[in-house]
Amino acid sequence: MARKLVHGTCVALGADAVLLRGPSGSGKSDLAFRFLALPGEGSSLPKLVADDQLWVTASAEGELIVSAPKSIAGKIEVRGLGIVTVPFVPQARLNLVCDLVKCEDVPRLPEDPWERTEIAGVAVPLLKLSPFEPSTPLKLKMALLLASSKQFV
């Protein structure tokens, strides 16, 4: 199993994760921080996988497993506060990629089935969201739940 270091921020609900991608300053950490504030309990409690960079490993079964480099595990950058420690999961299954784009670049309806992107040789559903809309953390949670249940993807 090959392991690849990927730039991005990754959050999870239970064992399922979404990778947030975008250039530096695009809102990855901010969206992740707001996602972590969503209510939940047990396996539905949002948690951090990794902020800024993460390891992606393709399993023999064709799943992608994501984890944080040890030096940044449980750490997230919160602009204005610095690097803070938050609850995290040591690893999760990557079920969705979300590219952060400008509001006008978010399609009203995603393709059916959802567009795909390839990471470490594995095709993963891809969505585009604007990171700073108030509803984006909820959209992200719904998209991850849909992708994890294989609906619309």
Instruction: Report helix angle 28-36 to 136-148, nearest 10.
Output: 80
Residue range 106-147, pLDDT digits in tens: 999 888 889 999 999 899 999 999 999 999 999 999 999 999
DSSP 8-state symbol, 120: T
Comparing C-alpha atoms, which of 122, 100, 126, 101 is closest to residue 113?
126
Neighbours of 100 (CB within 10 A): 23
Helix (H, G, I), strand (E, B) or coil at 121: coil
CATH superfamily ID and name for 3-148 = P-loop containing nucleotide triphosphate hydrolases (3.40.50.300)
Identify the CA nearest to 89 among candidates 151, 34, 47: 47
Summarised one tens digit per residue, pLDDT across range 48-73 is 999 999 999 999 888 999 999 999 99
* Mean pLDDT, residues 9-15: 96
Element (H, E) at 36: helix 28-36
Distances (CA, A) of 72 to 5, 8, 105: 13, 13, 31
pLDDT at 65: 97
The DSSP H or E segment spanning 124 is: strand 122-129
- What is the pTM assigned to this prediction? 0.94
Work out the pLDDT band at 151, boundaries 50, 70, 90.
Answer: low
Q: CB of 96 within 8 A of CB of 10? A: no
